[in-house]
Amino acid sequence: MQATDTHPSPTAATLAGWLRLQLTDGIGLLTAHKLLAHFGTPDAVFGASHAELLALVKRRQADALLGAPPARLAALAEATLAWAQQPGNRLLTLDHPDYPDSLRNIITPPLLLYLQGRPELLARRALAVVGSRNASAQGVLNAGRMAQALSEAGLTIISGLALGIDAAAHAGGLGGEGGTVAVIGTGPDRIYPRRNEALARRIAVEGCIVSEYALGTPPLSDNFPRRNRVISGLASGVLVVEAAAQSGSLITARLAAAQGRDVYAMPGSVHAALSKGCHQLIREGARLVETAADVLGDLRMLADAEAGPRPAPDDSFVDVVLEAIGDDIAQAELLASRLGQSAAELQRQLLALELAGLIERLPGGMFQRLRR
């Protein structure tokens, strides 16, 4: 999904219709989609007769749709267009050709998407990595390492910019070519939580920030469970790294399952409160994973039917890489220098060797050879 002049941002009049539909009292997303399915566009909805609306919605909803537009609509539309014209910002309506297909096909896709950064990331194969805000030190470490390994393999990492596991996942995603996408529960002009401000500003340049909420929307508690369906909707699957029994991450995982996505969970100690949510998901059918190779192997099998044979190690290069690693622990960057390979090409070879069970990925971008 590339930002091009062929499909520019909506006009002021078109945008006002979408914003009005979003802001009309008593009209939730389900009702908005029901109206759009029948009438086609917001303008057609607001141009319908009372009788036509009553065939689809309740009387108070029809009255609200035919009432005066919200007083702040004109100013909000003007401010939103100004926001969209700033460098790095993009605004997509649900009917825009560049709206991500994966998201358009969930039950209640957002009417509007506010994007900052690299919108092309939304068209890539992605994995959501989520977990507890109050994560353990080990959980944060696991999330960062896992996300970086997956990103290095080309998967875009999606999360919710929360503290703990989310922040670690974003940082890890930025460490690989897959990059990261942050789905936020505020307006695109707000950063929450403030402790993640530096991370958010980096993602807005190197990754992509996504919001469905109008400018100025504060961090309302109801918004965060709703944004979870966007996190799972943009991804091929969801990995829960660490979560308590009542964690919001379980909402994301169950939304993913309902959307036909795969759910993965990392196990932990049976005595740890932050492992109970993951263990619960595993009992419910989530795939137990311990390494990035576990996830990638599963996703590669899913991709085989669409993309052909699974990549294998380059036979002419296998022995060279294994010999270079030897019996020591080797860092990827040093291996690339030693072998005269680009870092990206070597990472692909290392991933193939890891999936083949010939090497093991260790913390800190280190690898060791597995002897048989």
pLDDT greater than 70 at residue 297:
yes
Give the pLDDT of residue 366.
Answer: 72
What pTM was estimated for this model as a whole?
0.79
- On whether residue 105 sits in a domain, the answer given is yes
- Tell me the three state secondary structure of residue 265: strand
Is there a single domain that holds both residue 279 and residue 157? Answer: yes
Is there a single domain that holds both residue 210 and residue 289? Answer: yes
- On whether residue 363 sits in a domain, the answer given is yes
pLDDT greater than 60 at residue 363:
no
Give residue 246's pLDDT band: very low, low, confident or very high (50, 70, 90): confident
Domain stop point among 304, 336, 356: 304
Query: DSSP class of residue 273?
Result: G
By mean pLDDT, which of 166-170, 273-277, 352-356 is the weakest? Answer: 352-356
Give residue 323's pLDDT band: very low, low, confident or very high (50, 70, 90): confident
Give the pLDDT of residue 305.
Answer: 34
Is there a single domain that holds both residue 141 and residue 282? Answer: yes
Give residue 344's pLDDT band: very low, low, confident or very high (50, 70, 90): low
Give the pLDDT of residue 20.
Answer: 97
Give the pLDDT of residue 357.
Answer: 67
Measured distance CA(276)–CA(270) in Å, rounded: 7
Q: Is 351 exposed, middle or buried (0-12, 13-18, 19+ CB in 10 A)?
A: buried
Is there a single domain that holds both residue 45 and residue 177? Answer: no
Give residue 233's pLDDT band: very low, low, confident or very high (50, 70, 90): very high
Is there a single domain that holds both residue 233 and residue 354? Answer: no
Is there a single domain that holds both residue 110 and residue 229? Answer: no
Domain stop point among 117, 148, 170: 117
Residue range 259-270: mean pLDDT, rounded: 92
Q: In terms of pLDDT, which residue wins out, 301 or 224?
A: 224
- On whether residue 7 sits in a domain, the answer given is no
- On whether residue 2 sits in a domain, the answer given is no
**Residue 367 near residue 332, CB atoms below 8 Å:** yes
- Kindly report each contact of residues 316-322 with a partner whose C-beta sits within 8 Å and lies 24 or more positions away, as own/partner: 317/349, 318/353, 318/358, 321/346, 321/349, 321/350, 321/353, 321/359, 322/353, 322/358, 322/359, 322/369
For residue 342, the enclosing domain spans: 315-369
Q: In terms of pLDDT, which residue wins out, 140 or 303?
A: 140
Is there a single domain that holds both residue 93 and residue 131? Answer: no
Q: Is 86 exposed, middle or buried (0-12, 13-18, 19+ CB in 10 A)?
A: exposed
Q: In terms of pLDDT, which residue wins out, 302 or 185?
A: 185
pLDDT 10s digits, 209-232: 999 999 999 999 999 989 999 999
Is there a single domain that holds both residue 135 and residue 112? Answer: no
pLDDT greater than 60 at residue 307:
no
Give the pLDDT of residue 107.
Answer: 87
- On whether residue 287 sits in a domain, the answer given is yes
**Residue 145 near residue 165, CB atoms below 8 Å:** no
- On whether residue 6 sits in a domain, the answer given is no
- On whether residue 4 sits in a domain, the answer given is no
Measured distance CA(364)–CA(224) in Å, rounded: 32
pLDDT 10s digits, 20-33: 999 999 999 999 99
Domain stop point among 117, 147, 164: 117
Output the domain CATH number for residue 217.
3.40.50.450
- On whether residue 104 sits in a domain, the answer given is yes
Is there a single domain that holds both residue 154 and residue 295? Answer: yes
Average pLDDT, the chain: 88
Is there a single domain that holds both residue 142 and residue 280? Answer: yes
Q: In terms of pLDDT, which residue wins out, 18 or 8?
A: 18
The length of the chain in residues reads 372
Residue range 336-359: mean pLDDT, rounded: 71
pLDDT greater than 80 at residue 354:
no
pLDDT 10s digits, 121-139: 999 999 999 999 999 999 9
> How many domains are contained in the chain?
3
Output the domain CATH number for residue 322.
1.10.10.10
pLDDT greater than 70 at residue 345:
no
Is there a single domain that holds both residue 77 and residue 142? Answer: no
Is there a single domain that holds both residue 263 and residue 358? Answer: no
